[in-house]
């Protein structure tokens, strides 16, 4: 299994200048390699063979391109091989029905990273602080907020400049051990229904509120209006552009922090997690509620939850979402409900419950069927729905912390 550990760099002004210089050399090399790639006919070999032929030209390029000798060799090689990755990505988009064009040359603002592969980097202690030593570049201080496990292997390091001007280092980690196998007979199972007002409502009666980012959005809108009044290309425009980028980064960090903590809790606390396999792309094409749908980032949450479940040895089941809100969790009768109706009342069996809680139990039932786990004869809704604990998004913390454990213990005791 592969994971990415991301850390913030703390470069000095001299380090920033050198990082930008290396980044621009890699950008020019990428553009040159793309020009050469377009000259090679498609019948000259496979995609990998054509890109490798360009990579083999690097030693001869150094004879007349002085800047290439200042950059570490594996950085140059990964820059050229990036063309192969980009062509494959375009092919995947084309196969999924997207209209794609061809690769274009990269301007300075769009080429923001370069990668050390296998060698040329190491973490070291110098002057009482941890530094990332990059060959032919510098020893750059790094904020190592969490340690890299000793039994893992660092395969590569990608150094990237964000639009805010900050620099980050992302370590590509390959686990030496296999992830634990999910249990054959999961005992702690949960179904999760995601929404807008309540981000997640599960079958244990926990309702997690959505993250309130209204203040951050208002600030972003103010900064964007101010940017529109600046002369494009001026110093004031560049300063304001960075403020807008900082607003976007702040929104992104808060949202991903919330999603990481919530997904981490479910992956660690349960043996089986069932969710809806939502068509978020189709929802975004709707004109009625697309902004809230995009802000909820359901697809990101499901992606984070999936890989965390794999890491923790938890069953992750994505079920068909059709009819989960309409069907009764007690008898299976389908009932039409407009969006503003927040309660489920079955006309067949008389079962009444919260709309989202009813959907969560339907999701869990489908997930158990997909895995092949049997149900108990008693209706799970009747035994678990009386527990209704609302959790604010601000109280969502790391799994194992008192905030969520207290609620879990309370649900069990009741």
**Beta strands at 198-202 and 189-194: parallel, antiparallel or unpaired:** antiparallel
Among 124, 149, 175, the domain-final residue is 175
Tell whether the model's pLDDT for residue 383 goes beyond 50.
no
Residues 399 and 256 grouped into a single domain: yes
Q: How far apart are CA 367 and CA 361, in angstroms?
A: 10
Angle between helices 298-312 and 235-269 (to 10 degrees): 50
Decide if 145 is inside a domain.
Answer: yes
Residues 196 and 150 grouped into a single domain: no
Residues 89 and 116 grouped into a single domain: yes
Strand partners, 169: 7, 159
Tell whether the model's pLDDT for residue 148 goes beyond 90.
no
Q: How far apart are CA 411 and CA 304, in angstroms?
A: 26
Among 175, 210, 240, the domain-final residue is 175
Residues 126 and 35 grouped into a single domain: yes
Structural domain containing residue 161: 2-175
**Comparison of pLDDT for 44 and 333, the residue scoring more:** 44
Tell whether the model's pLDDT for residue 376 goes beyond 80.
no
Residues 30 and 168 grouped into a single domain: yes
Q: How far apart are CA 33 and CA 82, in angstroms?
A: 10
Residues 200 and 308 grouped into a single domain: yes
Decide if 181 is inside a domain.
Answer: no
Residues 217 and 320 grouped into a single domain: yes
Retrieve residue 246's tokens.
Answer: 């900082």
Residues 103 and 194 grouped into a single domain: no
Say whether 84 sits in a helix, a strand or coil. helix
Q: How far apart are CA 219 and CA 212, in angstroms?
A: 14
Under the banding of pLDDT at 50, 70 and 90, the label for residue 91 is: confident
Burial of 367 (0-12, 13-18, 19+ CB in 10 A): buried
Residues 156 and 284 grouped into a single domain: no
Retrieve residue 390's tokens.
Answer: 């609302």
Digit-coded pLDDT (tens) for 279-327:
776 666 666 666 666 767 888 888 999 989 988 888 898 888 887 888 8
Closest CA to 241 of 342, 332, 163: 163
CA 11 from chain centre, in angstroms, equals: 26
Residue 378's pLDDT is: 40
Among 106, 140, 175, the domain-final residue is 175
Residues 165 and 226 grouped into a single domain: no
Question: Across residues 59-87, what is the average pLDDT?
Answer: 93
Digit-coded pLDDT (tens) for 317-360:
888 888 788 888 778 777 777 777 777 777 777 777 778 888 88
Lowest mean pLDDT among 168-182, 192-206, 338-352, 379-393: 379-393
Question: Across residues 107-126, what is the average pLDDT?
Answer: 91
Decide if 154 is inside a domain.
Answer: yes
* Number of independent structural domains in the chain: 2
Q: How far apart are CA 11 and CA 54, in angstroms?
A: 33
Residues 171 and 207 grouped into a single domain: no
């Amino acid at each position: 299994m592969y994971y990415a550990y991301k850390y913030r760099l703390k470069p000095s002004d001299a380090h920033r200048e050198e990082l930008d210089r290396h980044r621009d050399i890699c950008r020019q090399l990428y553009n040159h390699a793309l020009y050469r790639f377009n000259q090679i006919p498609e019948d000259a070999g496979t995609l990998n063979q054509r890109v490798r032929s360009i990579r083999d030209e690097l030693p001869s390029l150094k004879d007349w391109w002085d800047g290439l000798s200042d950059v570490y060799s594996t950085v140059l090689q990964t820059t050229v091989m990036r063309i192969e990755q980009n062509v494959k990505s375009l092919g995947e988009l084309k196969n999924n029905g997207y209209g794609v064009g061809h690769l274009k040359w990269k301007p300075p603002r769009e080429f923001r990273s370069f990668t050390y592969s296998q060698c040329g980097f190491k973490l070291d202690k110098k002057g009482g602080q941890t530094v990332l030593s990059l060959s032919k570049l510098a020893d750059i201080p790094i904020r190592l907020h969490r340690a890299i496990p000793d039994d893992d292997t660092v395969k590569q390091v990608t150094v990237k400049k964000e639009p805010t001007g900050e620099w980050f280092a992302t370590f590509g980690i390959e686990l030496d051990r296999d992830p634990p196998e999910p249990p054959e007979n999961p005992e702690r199972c949960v179904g999760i229904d995601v929404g807008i007002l309540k981000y997640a409502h599960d079958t244990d009666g926990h309702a997690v509120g959505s993250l309130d980012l209204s203040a951050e959005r208002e600030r972003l809108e103010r900064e964007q209006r101010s940017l529109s009044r600046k002369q494009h290309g001026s110093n004031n425009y560049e300063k304001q552009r960075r403020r807008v980028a900082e607003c976007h980064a702040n929104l992104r960090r808060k949202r991903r922090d919330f999603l990481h903590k919530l997904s981490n809790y479910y992956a660690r606390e349960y043996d089986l997690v069932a969710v809806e396999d939502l068509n978020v792309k189709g929802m975004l094409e709707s004109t009625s509620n697309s902004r809230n749908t995009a802000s909820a980032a359901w697809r990101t949450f499901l992606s984070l939850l999936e890989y965390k479940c794999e890491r923790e040895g938890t069953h992750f089941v994505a079920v068909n979402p059709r009819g989960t809100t309409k069907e009764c969790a007690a008898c299976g009768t389908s009932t039409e409900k407009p969006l503003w109706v927040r309660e489920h009342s079955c006309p067949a069996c008389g079962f009444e419950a919260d709309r989202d809680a009813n959907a969560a139990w339907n999701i869990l039932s489908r997930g158990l069927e997909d895995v092949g786990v049997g149900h108990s004869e008693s209706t799970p809704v009747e035994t678990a729905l009386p527990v209704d604990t609302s959790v604010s998004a601000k109280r969502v913390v790391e799994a194992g912390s008192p905030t969520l454990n207290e609620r879990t213990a309370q649900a069990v005791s009741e």
